[in-house]
Amino acid sequence: MLAGTVAVGAVACDDDGGSASPKLPDGVDVEEGGLPEGFPEDGIPLPRAPISTGAAVGSGSEQNWTLVYGVDAVRRNADRYRQQLERAGFTVEQSFSTDDEAGDLTSFTATRDDYIVTVFAGGIDRENALTVTVAPAAIAVP
């Protein structure tokens, strides 16, 4: 039986006699199956898919969030989420898509005065994920 603390990269795990739980650095929150701490639910539309993992890094105006969703179809889910963001006032920029024998891939960036949302969707067959990264928009300097 392992006792004490084992360092794995930047994450330390304590074994308390049967289960190990990660000790995350200050300013990091990871939630399995849910939104991470501080996510701006009122300001950002969420994809219509089950969330696998949510992570938050940083604090205050420097906090950003990454959400990972399991999806059945890359292009359809990415296009649907793009429409949700546009209806919420985001402008979609820097878009890319491909679909070939290696798999599907779609990515784009959506901006609004308050947030920047980067979306990456990819996979092969039914092993697909939609990853959404949200960060506060940079403060304009006069």
Q: What residues make up the domain containing 93?
A: 26-136
Q: How confident is the model at residue 96 (pLDDT cuts 50, 70, 90)?
A: confident
Quick check: is 16 in a domain?
no
Quick check: is 76 in a domain?
yes
Phi and psi at residue 62, to the nearest 5°: -105, 10
What three-state secondary structure class fits 6? strand
Quick check: is 141 in a domain?
no
Beta bridge partners of 97: 106
Is the Cβ–Cβ distance between 36 and 54 less than 8 Å?
yes
Query: Does residue 16 or residue 48 have the better pLDDT?
Result: 48
Quick check: is 77 in a domain?
yes
Quick check: is 14 in a domain?
no
Burial class of residue 5 in the structure, from the number of CB atoms within 10 Å of its CB (0-12 exposed, 13-18 middle, 19+ buried):
exposed
What is the structure's pLDDT at 61?
Answer: 76
Beta strands 20-23 and 28-32, pairing class:
unpaired
Q: Which two tokens stand for residue 16?
A: 């308390």
Q: Is the pLDDT of residue 128 over 60?
A: yes
What is the structure's pLDDT at 37?
Answer: 86
Q: For residues 93 and 116, give the distance between their C-alpha atoms in angstroms, rounded to a whole number.
A: 10
Task: Write the pLDDT tens digit of every residue in 19-56.
Answer: 555 566 666 888 889 999 889 988 899 998 999 999 99
Number of domains in the chain: 1
Q: Buried b vs exposed e over 115-126: b needs ≥16 C-beta within 10 Å?
A: bbbbbbbbbeee
What average pLDDT score do residues 71-82 get?
Answer: 90
Quick check: is 7 in a domain?
no
| Least confident among 41-45, 80-84, 94-98, 119-123 | 94-98
Question: Which contiguous run of DSSP H or E holds residue 83?
Answer: helix 74-87
What is the structure's pLDDT at 18?
Answer: 53
